[in-house]
Structure 1
Amino acid sequence: MRIIQIRRKTIVEKRYSFKMGELITKVTYIKKHLFGLPIKTIHKYRQTYYGEIKDCNNCMLFI
C-alpha cells in the first residue's frame, strides 16, 4: 500500500459562465491522498464541447 497517491476523478457538475450562462460539464479533479484520505486538490479542469481543455477558474459553481 502506498502512503501518498495521486488520483483523478471526473464528476458532472452544473457551472455558470458569464458568456454561456448555465452549463452542465464534466469536471476532472486531481487530488493528493494520504492513506486513502484526500488531502489537497492539486488541479481541476473541464473539457469543452470541442475537446479543448480549460481551467475551472473562469466559471462559477452553480447551485
Structure 2
Amino acid sequence: MKLIKVQRRTKQEKRFSEDMGMLNAKVTYIKKTFASVPYKTLHKYRETYYGKVKDCSDCVIDL
C-alpha cells in the first residue's frame, strides 16, 4: 500500500482576468497526499473556452 500519492481534482471556480473579465473555469489541482490527506499543491491549471490549457498564475480569484 502506498502512503504518498499524487491526485488530480477538477472543480469549477470563478476567476477574474483583466482581458476577459469574470469567468467560470474548470481548474485542475494536482496535489500530493499522505494517507489520503492533501498536504502540498504541486500545480494548478485551467482550460479556456477555446481548449487551451493555461497556468492559473495569470488570473486572480475574485472574492
TM-score class, shorter: over 0.9
Query: What is residue 52 of structure 2 aligned with on the other side?
Result: 52
Indicate the percent of aligned positions where both proteins have the same amino acid.
52
RMSD: 0.6
Query: What is residue 27 of structure 1 aligned with on the other side?
Result: 27
Count of residue pairs brought into register by the alignment? 63
Q: Deviations over 1:31-62 (max 9, x none)?
A: 00001100100000000111100000000011
The TM-score, its normalising length taken from structure 2, stands at 0.96
The answer as to 2:8 corresponding to 1:13 is: no
The TM-score, its normalising length taken from structure 1, stands at 0.96
Quote the Cα distance in structure 2 between the aligned partners of 1:62 and 1:14.
7
- Find runs of 4+ consecutive structure 1 residues off by over 3 angstroms: none
